[in-house]
Amino acid sequence: MARKSQVNNGGVLTDSGSDQAPNPKSQAPLALILFGPPGSGKGTQAKLLVKTLGIPQISTGDMLREHVRKGLAVGTKVEAKMKAGILVKDEVVNRLVEERLAQPDAVRGFILDGYPRTRAQAETLCGMLAAKGWDAVVIHLVVDYNVIIARLTGRRQCPVCGTLYNEVSKPPKVAGVCDLESAALIVRDDDREEVIRQRLEAYESQTRPLIEYFREKGKRLYGVDASHETPEAVFRKIEVLIRKP
């Protein structure tokens, strides 16, 4: 059943109080879509949610980076685009997601992080959800532009385990070194300033309009302010929203 989300004057989507929110007792598997610009904390929230919900995180960015790292055919196709902050072709990403959703660990539900990002991807996903009868909820992480820039430029990653740090908001115990692997932290190619600008442009022109698409499709959609609160506080808000009876 459709629910309508509201957009207030600041463009922040708010819970409209419908009783249609998914909850863990629901029989249908939950497709939890984490939606928001680069740097809004989708990956961080996904990792926290994996622990409480017991369903896997499906990050198209991580999957694509793995194909690049392993030198697989898909990886060589997408590497240049990723380095430039440009979206990879829909057919490539859709195929990866379709294959991933067919894995046994996704039968009870999953958390999508970084997908869908275009109208064509959203249509493919909605087709799959309808065919399987899965419940979907979209969590839109709403973040100020300046906060995004500060987060992305300060971001550092462990090249071994992929853990993300931030020089300001989440520094490692020893500057420049991963807490878990003791490896020297790196700046991801696509976290360079000119690439960040490109990624934000891609979000504005191709991804942000999906909010309207989700509304048209009657998807459950909640906006959560993710600018000013700690990741744990944002997580608690999301938990409340998705557990609503």
Please identify every residue annotated as catalytic: 42, 117, 155, 188, 199
Query: Up-side HSE of residue 69: CA atoms within 13 Å toward CB?
Result: 11
Helices (H), the chain: 42-53, 60-69, 73-84, 90-101, 119-132, 145-153, 193-202, 210-216, 231-243
Site for ligand ADP in 160-179 (CB under 6 A): none
Site for ligand ADP in 99-118 (CB under 6 A): 114-115, 117
Gyration radius of the chain's alpha carbons:
18
135 within 8 A of 56, measured Cβ to Cβ = no
Give whichever of 13 and 78 is closer to ligand ADP, judged by the CB atom: 78
Does 223 interact with ligand ADP (rule: CB under 6 A)?
A: no
Residue with tokens 């859709």: 94
Does 46 interact with ligand ADP (rule: CB under 6 A)?
A: no
Does 41 interact with ligand ADP (rule: CB under 6 A)?
A: no
Q: Angle at the Cα of 121 (from 120 to 125), degrees rounded to 5?
A: 120
Give whichever of 55 and 195 is closer to ligand ADP, judged by the CB atom: 195
Give whichever of 110 and 115 is closer to ligand ADP, judged by the CB atom: 115
Residue of 48, 156, 190, 215 that binds ligand ADP (CB under 6 A) = 190
Does 79 interact with ligand ADP (rule: CB under 6 A)?
A: no
Residue of 22, 29, 38, 41 that binds ligand ADP (CB under 6 A) = 38
Does 60 interact with ligand ADP (rule: CB under 6 A)?
A: yes
Does 85 interact with ligand ADP (rule: CB under 6 A)?
A: yes
Residue 106 beta carbon to ligand ADP: minimum distance, rounded to whole angstroms: 17
φ, ψ dihedrals at 59, nearest 5°: -105, 115
Following DSSP, what letter does each residue of 14-32 receive, concatenated?
Answer: E----TT---TT-SSPEEE
Residue 217 beta carbon to ligand ADP: minimum distance, rounded to whole angstroms: 18
Measured between alpha carbons, how far is 26 from 9 in angstroms, rounded to an integer?
33
Residue 129 beta carbon to ligand ADP: minimum distance, rounded to whole angstroms: 16
Distances (CA, A) of 29 to 50, 112, 172, 207, 210: 14, 13, 36, 25, 22
Binding region for ligand ADP (CB under 6 A): 38, 60-61, 64, 81-82, 85-88, 93, 114-115, 117, 121, 190, 199
